[in-house]
Amino acid sequence: MGALVTFLGTVRADGGIEVMELEAYEEVAEKELAAIRDGAFANYPIAAVEIIHRIGRLRVGDNILLIVVGAGHRKEAFDACEYILERIKESVPIWKKEIGEGGERWVPGESSGGDA
């Protein structure tokens, strides 16, 4: 491999967030993550993909999502990593609740969290 690209999403302190709780429909989330991985292999000339998405109670600075893509060239690795990230945000049933100074709220929209 000529390129190894990683994306690491973390819990940010935006808006006074102290804790984030991530919940998932685990059986469906695992199947969707596998389908996204397969889609990356089908659409990009890459050699390796790893995706790790945490659930549970996380604090500011904790890692939420890790994507690692290996390819012969950097462009393919970057493109595949972005494809994977956008697909996760669109289709994986993972929800986040932000807890902080002002109380708590479920975050609408995208299904995964962090710097994603």
Looking at the domain assignment, is residue 18 inside a domain? Answer: yes
Q: What is the tally of structural domains in the chain?
A: 1
Looking at the domain assignment, is residue 90 inside a domain? Answer: yes
The pLDDT score that the predictor gives to residue 110 is: 55
Q: What is the mean pLDDT of residues 48-55?
A: 98
The pLDDT score that the predictor gives to residue 102 is: 87
55-83 confidence digits (pLDDT tens):
999 999 999 999 999 999 999 999 999 99
CATH of residue 92's domain is: 3.90.1170.40
Q: At what angle do helices 26-43 and 74-91 cross, to 10 degrees?
A: 150
Q: What is the mean pLDDT of residues 22-41?
A: 97
**Domain encompassing residue 82:** 3-106
β-pairing, 94-100 vs 56-59, is unpaired
Q: What is the dihedral of CA 105, 109, 111, 113, to 10 degrees?
A: -60
**Is a pLDDT exceeding 70 seen at residue 43?**
yes
Rounded to two decimals, the pTM is 0.89
Looking at the domain assignment, is residue 17 inside a domain? Answer: yes
Q: What is the mean pLDDT of residues 76-99?
A: 96
β-pairing, 103-106 vs 46-53, is unpaired
Identify the DSSP state of 15: G
Looking at the domain assignment, is residue 37 inside a domain? Answer: yes
